[in-house]
Amino acid sequence: MYDYRKMTPEEQQCVLQQRRERGFPLHAPPHFRGVSGTYLITSTCYEHRPIFEHPDDLSWLVDEALNAFTATNLPYLAWVFLPNHYHVLLETQDLSIVSEVLRLLHSRVATIINGRHHQRGRKVWYRFSDRLIRSERHYFASVNYIHYNPIKHGYVDRMSSWAWSSLHEYMEAQGEEWLVRIWKNYPVKNYGKGWDW
């Protein structure tokens, strides 16, 4: 969305033509329905505004999202929530289930947070993107990317300093030695560059 705005009219037409040829939606991410697997889901606040910058709002958002995934039998494997976006690894039989859960979750969250902030009608969310996990390496690099995200965006200097992440669950279940080994074996490097924003 943001790169598109910076393009010349000619570049925009070229991108739209490529999307037409591939059968993709013209102004939305393509979602491949009916393919079961593990997906990295990324959702951002509209215009990347930090709508959930207050710790109480962020904690509430985490509870709402994880409860929604649990209630609809969508196992979540790793997650991080930040003031203006979140990433979660979900297992699903069909991406259309995820799409419907996120539609309902985002609608509910937007209504409540706008009421709390006295900003009724404010646009809170801007769609979501998904990446099908293709291998063990991709899976563990995604877990590392998720846990590293608060550092990447300058919120903290250590992954363990960010409270709204599954890192703490991994630390308790697997231990620090396991996390360090996974970090070394599956480095983040340029993971997510160009598509997570």
CB atoms within 10 A of CB 115: 10
The tokens of 83 are what? 């003031």
66/157 Cα distance (integer angstroms): 25
Fold observed for domain 31-185: Alpha-Beta Plaits (3.30.70)
Burial of residue 158, with CB atoms counted within 10 A of its CB: 0-12 exposed, 13-18 middle, 19 or more buried: exposed
Among all chains, which residue has been given the structure tokens 């039989």?
93
62/79 Cα distance (integer angstroms): 9
What angle, rounded to 10 degrees, do the helices at 176-185 and 167-174 form? 110
Please give the pLDDT value at position 1.
45
Please give the pLDDT value at position 59.
98
Please give the pLDDT value at position 196.
38
15/173 Cα distance (integer angstroms): 45
Among all chains, which residue has been given the structure tokens 């079961």?
36
Report which DSSP code applies to 193. T
189/192 Cα distance (integer angstroms): 9
Cβ atoms 43, 86 nearer than 8 A: yes
Please give the pLDDT value at position 195.
44
- For 126, the 3-state DSSP assignment is strand
| Residues facing residue 129 across a β-bridge | 42
Which run of H or E residues covers position 117?
none
Q: Could you list the mean pLDDT of each consecutive 10-residue stretch along the chain, which spans 197 residues? A: 69 72 56 74 95 97 98 96 97 91 97 96 92 92 96 96 98 96 90 53
Domain positions in the chain: 1-27, 31-185
Please give the pLDDT value at position 3.
67
32/94 Cα distance (integer angstroms): 9
